[in-house]
Amino acid sequence: MSVSAAYLGVILIWSTTPLAIQWSAQGTSFSFAVMARMLIGLAICLVLLRLTHTEFPFTPAARRLYAISGLSMFVAMLLTYWGALHIPSGLISVIFGLSPLVTGVFAALWLSERALTPIRIAGLGLALAGLWLIFGQPWPGDGQATLGTAAVVIGMTVQALGLVWIKRLNARASALAITTGSLGVATPLFVLAWLIVDSAQPPPDTTLRAGAAIVYLGVLGSVMGFTLYYYIIKHLDAGRVALIMLVTPVAALLLGKTLNAEFIPAHGWMGIALIGSGLLLYELQALRQLRRPGM
């Protein structure tokens, strides 16, 4: 596989995922949409495991890894899908762009990593100021936009915590095995959430757009996106990987505005600009690698 093709694939998938989440949740119900996505993703992973003869470790350490990853996936995705009903899809991408910063804080506190340099702390401060600005004033069109933003922020934080916890376990497994095990834990919980929220009633009038978005997320968002991401991590330096987190929020904002007629008020753009500046500062050391000879 071409590294350039994989890199472009990750940007395209991650840029379109927030809009696809919103379309799938609006066309059905948020609990059914996320459950259907995970069922599709789990089925594909099981088929890939068999076709590729990939080892699926089931040691106590591996089971702990799957449990933590699956639980964090369940909480993060359920909150994100509900929040997507109330905020612009581009804002979801901006919030998840904060995940490297939050992950760095958890790694410093839990793993004693020296990730929080003075310039990174400054970047974190800028990003938090931008988030406060987004929370500070109401968004047009939905009275629950503040709660929706809070749900996505909590979901992103739980996902970052799960990543650090997984790193702390230091269990060895392939990316496909981790994804399959995580989905194996999370999917029954999503089914249970659907039973509770929707009383096991399928959506009466699922639109074609919602159905296509669910399939897209199940095939590309849950399986292909992470597979490509792990692939490029192995072949590229940190600076080039960090660029993905800078590009995808901008692309997602443009897609939301163009394809979904999303309106973001002036204070929202100011907050987004602060978050982007903070993320740029946080990743500055990694991005400097792009200027080195031979890179």
**Interval 35-61 mean pLDDT:** 94
| pLDDT at residue 41 in the model | 94
Inside any domain, residue 136 = no
pLDDT at 240: 74
Cα separation values, 151 from 81, 86, 146, Å: 9, 10, 9
Domain assignment present for 177 = yes
- Residue 34 pLDDT class (50, 70, 90 cuts): very high
Residue 105 CB contacts under 8 Å (≥ 6 apart), including other chains? 116, 124
Instruction: List C-alpha distances in Å: 256 to 20, 74, 187, 228, 269.
Output: 10, 25, 28, 24, 14
Q: Are the CB atoms for 114 and 285 separated by under 8 Å?
A: no
Maximum pairwise Cα distance, the chain: 60
* Region for 139 from its dihedrals, namely left if φ exceeds 0, alpha if ψ lies in -120 to 50, beta otherwise: beta
Residue 213, domain member (yes or no): yes
pLDDT confidence band for 13 (50 / 70 / 90): very high
Tell me if 185 is assigned to some domain.
yes
Q: CB neighbours of 108 closer than 8 A, spacing ≥ 6?
A: 114, 115, 116
**Cβ atoms 38, 188 nearer than 8 A:** no
Cα torsion for 110, 116, 120, 124, to the nearest 10°? 40
71 confidence band (pLDDT: 50, 70, 90): very high
Instruction: Find out whether 88 and 197 touch, Cβ atoms under 8 Å.
Output: no
In a domain, 272, yes or no: no
Tokens representing residue 109 in the block: 């506190």
Number of domains in the chain: 1
Domain span at residue 30 reads 3-90+143-262
- Output the pTM of the full model: 0.88
Name the residue among 198, 218, 213, 266 with its Cα closest to residue 89.
213
| pLDDT for residue 142 | 61
Evaluate whether residue 210 is within a structural domain: yes
In a domain, 100, yes or no: no
- The tens digit of pLDDT for each residue in 135-163 reads 766 665 567 888 899 999 999 999 989 88
Is 96 a member of any domain?
no
Position 295 confidence tier, pLDDT thresholds 50, 70, 90: very low
Structure confidence at residue 137 (pLDDT):
64
Tokens matching residue 147: 């709660």
